[in-house]
Structure 1
Amino acid sequence: MSSAFASTGVAAPSPPSGGGRHIAVFNAPQPGHVTPTLAVVTELVARGHRVTYAITEDFAPQVKAAGADVVTYCLPSAAREASEDLMAGAAQAMQQNVRALPELMAAFADDTPDLVLYDLAAAGGRLLAAYWQVPAVLLAPTHLPYEGILSELYGVQDLSHMPGVGMLRMVLAAHGVTEPLEELLLAPRQAVAFFPRAFQRKADTVTAGSVTYAGPALGDRSYQGIWKPPQDGRPVLLVSLGTRYTHRPEFYRVCIEAFADTDMHVVMTVGHSIDPAGLGPVPKTMEIHPSVPQLDVLARAAAFVTHGGMGSVMEAMAHGVPLVVVPQMTEQQANAHQVEHLSLGLHLPREQVTPQALRDSVQRVTTDPEIARGVAVLRQAIQEAGGTVAAADAIERALTRAQTH
């Protein structure tokens, strides 16, 4: 075996027990990628399977709470910095995957899984599945590869123009994997999407083989804490830019000004790099936190001003909450396009954000009957998609197919 997969002394997961199969999950160390998978892990473990989850140490507690064994890999601090440039983020992810391969190979050296679940941002898992010659299922927290995705989201025409691709090709060749990288990354044979087909960008051109559009898998989020709703009966407005691109003090100040004199109770998250005291006077009808248990707030919310990450969009739709989307990057812009196309809310480009524009947008999404109908339609689609159970069923079908071939 070449030095790229040299042993690092990482402990292997515990041996199998019971009649279930061994499923390995490879994911990117980001909440928007990890959180959608946790309920599915819990469901698979409840069905008797053993799940080993490869992730960084900071996500280990919630992954263990979901019922999985954890194999951790290390990343340098610089690799954790978020970039709004999707191309830069993709290059960083590819570097992370190659860097983590030796640790992951060592951890699974004596315990090859029966099936691999992987995120596109953790493509190292897909490469390992090809190396081990075991089936793989893509877990998609956002749009599946579709015709034109590289040009729309990354500004390139083909995979060869993506940074880091040459390095991945070399790793594949060094280990005798003959499958083309284009097929491994852009044409997954099996996929589970955490959103309904109606929200998939250009769904008719998706390049995956078998796809289960399971919708969001919403499970226990008690690790996020508890939020108590106001007792004054005011409608609740949630404002959040997610977990990665949150250092936006000017945006938060505009929100404070926009909603200071409205009849809404505003719950706003600002991340951990912003001191709320530095945002100026805050009205009594507004609460500001680094983060909140989002599902708890959405259960009471009348509207959601959001960055438009897929997880946030789907959680809002599952609760019937209309959206004002202020995207931070191209993937979120694609989501904002779908939000407007399906009449789920409004797209407000961040360069157009003013107090008046925010007030007008929230007023519109909470009163427009067409938006109410659009939200109701997608909420029904999510309920029919099956969520956690549908995702686990699809994964078990992949296991069954693997056993019969």
Structure 2
Amino acid sequence: MRIFIVAVGSHGDVLPLLAIGSELSRRGHAVTLAAPAPFAAMAARAHLPFFALGSEEDYRTITAEPDLWRPWCGAAAMFRHVSSLIEPTYHWLAENVRPDDSVVLASTLSLGARVAQDKLGLDLATVHLMPMLVESRTDPPTLPGLQLPEDLPPRLRHWIGRGADRVIINPAALPPLNAFRTQIGLPPVHRLRHWWNSPQRVFLAFPEWYATPQPDWPSQALQVGFPLADRFGDVVDLDPAVYAFLEAGAPPLAFTYGSAMTRSQGFFRTALDLCVRLGRRGIFLAPQSGQVPDDLPPEVLHVPYAPFSRLLPRCAALIHHGGVGTVAQALAAGIPQLVVPVAFDHFDEARRVRRLGVGSSMSGRSFTPARGEREIQRLLTDPSVARAGSIAKARMIEEDGVGAACDAVEAFRALNS
């Protein structure tokens, strides 16, 4: 079987599909990955043919955009970039996919792949990596900038959330999408968050215990679990300096604000103050330059990247932005987590972390040394948090999200052959 994977986004969006592609390739399928240009080296290490969507400079430009990291402005900034990838994605698939022997696996923002499905009749499955991307009237996700009280009726929260479609998402995404659709003879899309679901199959890359299936989710949706993918990142094991640091003392607090964040200076200044106030060692993960204070004491180590599956089991807690992949890795390690959400799905993941009892959250404005100290100390000493972490870790051990996703892809092809 020939499988074409289209993954649009940052590390958290691309690496899970890269992991799935690698396993499908190991099973004997011919897999090609299309993703932003910076992921070419990671695809090469996984021995996957690669097609670059945009340039390295395009990727740096969008990740440096200040509006990308503001809850109400992030969608518009993101869709300006995503829209530029619609046409090249469409033409790449049109030139390479043979409908009689191929399957397309497309991430949520791979809009050009959905256009190709509509126009060319391709067999395509959408992959949603986070629950926020699935609408529901019975358990509506928390949208960025719309942290509505939980005691509001779900239908009212859903109706208010629909306003985000009308005011933010559709105006940002639909004009360029529909301009291209008109150009190739397709009717316009009216609601992006409905249309981006493949009518054939939707894979939900999170388990039922994390996001309970809802009666109004798409009937073609299938939950496959978290596809843990950190070993496909920039490095595959801990650096010797990290090993030496971990061996030299008590488990540290780990801090990260995401692989693409370029405005995390305040977060890491607070992180340093927290380590001092709590008398704890710390490890700061930030690949972008200029994010971490220069004057770190010996008790705090900065590394650009480390595979969480190797690092987090040896840490006391994780303080982070709330990306779903980061949440999943902390669940697998069984450690407490404090989420300081920024944009996108972060607010919804924070809600689910609280629901599970494995951690808590606070706004960026509330994340001060004094408040952070109190909350982290509580998370480290609360027996109920430790019990919830142990339960989550046991659940994660029982699952294989990558394998389940690959099984589902093979079944999807068999169903449509």
Q: Structure 1 length as normaliser, TM-score?
A: 0.84
1:60 is matched with which residue? 40
Equivalent positions of 1:104-253 (< 5 A) are 104-105=92-93, 107-108=95-96, 114-143=102-131, 144-147=133-136, 152-153=143-144, 156-157=162-163, 159=165, 162=170, 163-177=172-186, 182=191, 183-186=194-197, 188-200=199-211, 203-207=214-218, 209-218=220-229, 220-221=231-232, 223-224=234-235, 226-227=238-239, 228=243, 229-253=245-269
Q: Return closer, same or farther for 1:255/1:223 CA change in 2, 3 Å cut-off.
A: closer
Report SS of the residue matched to 1:264: coil
1:25 and 2:5 are equivalent in the alignment = yes
Work out whether 1:255 is the aligned partner of 2:257. no
Contact 1:242 1:306 in 2 (8 A): yes
Aligned mate of 2:297, from 283, 297, 307? 283
Asked whether the equivalents of residues 304 and 321 of structure 1 are also in contact (C-alpha less than 8 Å), the reply is: yes
Matches of 1:194 and 1:203, distance apart in 2: 15
Moved more, 314-323 or 198-207: 198-207
Does residue 86 of structure 1 match 2:74?
yes
Q: Which residue of 2 aligns with 1:16?
A: none
What is the alpha-carbon distance in structure 2 between the residues aligned to residue 92 and residue 153 of structure 1? Answer: 18
- The answer as to whether partners of 2:126 and 2:203 remain within 8 angstroms in 1 is yes
**Cα deviations across residues 306-349 of structure 1 (Å, max 9, x unaligned)?**
10100100011111121000111142011111111111101121
Tell me: CA distance 1:198–1:217, structure 2 relative to 1, closer, same or farther (3 Å). Answer: same
> 2-side partners of 1:141 and 1:337: how far apart?
16
Give the letter for the 2:135 counterpart: Y
Structure 1 contact 159–165 (Cα < 8 Å) conserved: no
Unpaired runs of at least 5, structure 1: 1-20
Q: Does 1:100 align with 2:88?
A: yes
Letter in 2 for 1:301: C
| Cα distance in 2 between the residues matched to 1:141 and 1:258 | 31
Q: Is the 8 A contact 2:90 2:113 kept in 1?
A: no
2:366 aligned partner: 352
Q: Is the 8 A contact 2:20 2:227 kept in 1?
A: no
Contact 2:86 2:111 in 1 (8 A): no
Q: Distance in 2 between matches of 1:166 and 1:373?
A: 49
SS in 2 for 1:230: helix
Task: Say if 1:112 and 1:132, in contact at 8 Å, map to a contact too.
Answer: no
8 A contact 2:99–2:121 mirrored in 1: no
Q: Percent identity?
A: 20
Q: 1:310 is matched by which residue type in structure 2?
A: V
Cα deviation, residue 189, structure 1: 3.7
Partners of 1:385 and 1:275 lie apart in 2 by 35
Separation (CA, whole Å) in 2 of partners of 1:105 and 1:245: 30
After superposition, the CA RMSD in angstroms is: 2.9
Structure 1 residues 293, 109: closer, same or farther in 2, change over 3 A? closer
Q: Residues 339 and 251 of structure 1: is their aligned pair in 2 closer, same or farther, counting only changes over 3 Å? A: same
Structure 1 residues 189 and 383 mapped into 2: Cα distance closer, same or farther (>3 Å)?
farther
For 2:51 and 2:357, how far apart are their aligned partners in 1?
42
> How far apart in 1 are the matches of 2:328 and 2:141?
23
What CA deviation, in whole Å up to 9, does each residue of 1:154-174 have, x standing for no partner? 865375651231332343344
CA distance in 2, matches of 1:106, 1:114: 12
Give the TM-score taking structure 2 as reference length: 0.82
Give me the whole-angstrom Cα distance separating, in 2, the residues matched to 1:288 and 1:212: 36
Pick from 398, 403, 415 the counterpart of residue 389 of structure 1.
Answer: 403
Instruction: Find the residue that maps to 1:284 and give its secondary structure.
Output: coil
Q: Matched residue of 2:85: which SS?
A: helix
Give SS of 1:61's match: helix
The answer to whether structure 1 residue 318 and structure 2 residue 332 are counterparts is yes
Provide the secondary structure at the position in 1 that maps to 2:365.
helix
Separation in 2, partners of 1:110, 1:203:
35
- In the alignment, the residues of structure 2 paired with residue 201 and residue 390 of structure 1 have an alpha-carbon distance, to the nearest angstrom, of 18
Distance 1:31 1:347 in 2: 22
Q: Which amino acid aligns with 2:175?
A: G
Asked whether the equivalents of residues 201 and 338 of structure 1 are also in contact (C-alpha less than 8 Å), the reply is: no
Determine the C-alpha separation between the residues in 1 that align with 2:116 and 2:269.
46
1:122 Cα offset (Å): 1.4
Separation (CA, whole Å) in 1 of partners of 2:48 and 2:186: 28
Tell me what 1:333 maps to. Answer: 347
Deviation at 1:36, TM superposition (A): 1.4
**For this pair of structures, how many residues does the alignment match?**
381
For the residues of structure 2 that align with 1:107 and 1:187, how far apart are their CA atoms? 21
SS of aligned partner of 2:415: helix
